[in-house]
Amino acid sequence: MSATRSCQIATHTLNPEAYDAYLRGRSSERPTLQGIEKAKRYFEEAIQKDPAFALAYVGLAGCYLDLGQFRLLPPRDSYRRGKEIIQKALELDETLAEAHGILAFLNWQWDWNWRTAEEEYRYALSLNPNSVDVRVPLSWYLGWRGRRDEALAEVAKIRELDPPNPNTFLDEAAIYYHLRDYRAMLDASRKTVALNPDNWVGHYFLAVAYDGLNLEAIPEYQKAVELSEGDTDPTAGLAHAYASVGQRANAEKILRDLLHKSKTSYVSPYMIGSIYAGLGDKNKAFDFLEKAYQERSPDIPWFLKADLRIDSLRSDPRFQDLVRRVGLPQ
């Protein structure tokens, strides 16, 4: 999921070349490294052409959040840089709703400050009630908080504001993920895949829905891994699915590959921990979840409450201690 996905655009520049670069950045596909880097280059070009163009800074900050959210950079590199850039946007225009929306997401996923996150989302909407950029992540946040009706009301509002947008079913699937409503998630994910078969997140959510319903999930996980160019989230999901059906050797191979990869590039310790959980090695699982906690991985707040891959850990006192230290809202 991208923290900055919509078509809502406000112009704050008179430089047409900067604005054109900004629009190109907005239109770039973002769920893969190549797409994020492409968008990032366009936003940097817009800033170069007009250093006072606040929305270009918002777009650039969003790229860094995506790099962190999709585990393409360590959190300390992606989220800290994103926070620096969004502060610059707010210096240029403190009334920019989209900038406060990014700040809300940072408070949720990086600072783990749930109250301030919601306050920022609400303030952003007071500045621009029609901002889809703000309402989309707010819907995820409300689903994550377990506030189903409010979350789905946001999706309905997004459809009203942006009727042609096919990604509203993806937003629904994200909400149902956090609610662990796998039947509803299955329906929303199928609609997502039908409308956008090349979006790996839709296939991933479909796989999780199958997994949660004890149906055949491996082919959809494989498709998500392929389309995402190896994102570690569907990769860890695939390992979990293999382990669940007794294909332990396949799950162990994925684990070995990720451990090897982690020696030369960033691999989320949370994802490695989730594979150990699926393989029944609780001690190793908690070792890696602790590493994720220490680096303030956004995977901790995003996944800890609902991730079925770590269900085997939930009754362990170490898990309750981790939840307490994270301070997850009940």
Residues 6+ apart with CB under 8 A from 89: 54, 55, 57, 58, 61, 96, 99, 102
Kindly state whether residue 183 falls inside one of the protein's structural domains. no
Q: Which domain holds residue 285?
A: 258-330
Q: Which residue, of 104, 125, 146, is where some domain finishes?
A: 125
Instruction: Give the Cα separation of 67 and 64 in Å (integer).
Output: 5
Q: Give the domain-ending residue among 77, 107, 125.
A: 125
Contacting residues for 222 by C-beta, under 8 A, at least 6 apart:
238
Q: What is the pLDDT along the chain (330 residues), one digit of tens a residue?
A: 555 443 334 445 469 999 999 999 998 866 788 899 999 999 999 999 999 999 999 999 999 999 999 999 999 999 999 999 999 999 999 999 999 999 999 999 999 999 999 999 999 999 999 999 999 999 999 999 999 999 999 999 999 999 888 889 999 999 999 999 999 999 999 999 999 999 999 999 999 999 999 999 999 999 999 999 999 999 999 999 999 999 999 999 999 999 999 999 999 999 999 999 999 999 999 999 999 999 999 999 999 999 999 999 999 999 999 999 999 987
With both helix axes pointing from N to C terminus, report the angle between 132-144 and 97-109 in degrees, rounded to the nearest 10: 20
Count of domains in the chain? 2
Q: Looking at the domain assignment, is residue 275 inside a domain? A: yes
Give the end of a domain, one of 110, 125, 140: 125
Q: Give the CATH number, domain containing residue 86.
A: 1.25.40.10
Model-wide pTM > 0.95: no
Nearest to 131 by CA among 231, 293, 5: 5
Report residue 94 as tokens. Answer: 């403190």
DSSP 213: T
Q: How far apart are CA 8 and CA 164, in angstroms?
A: 13
Q: Is residue 190 part of a domain?
A: no
Q: Is position 231 within any domain?
A: no
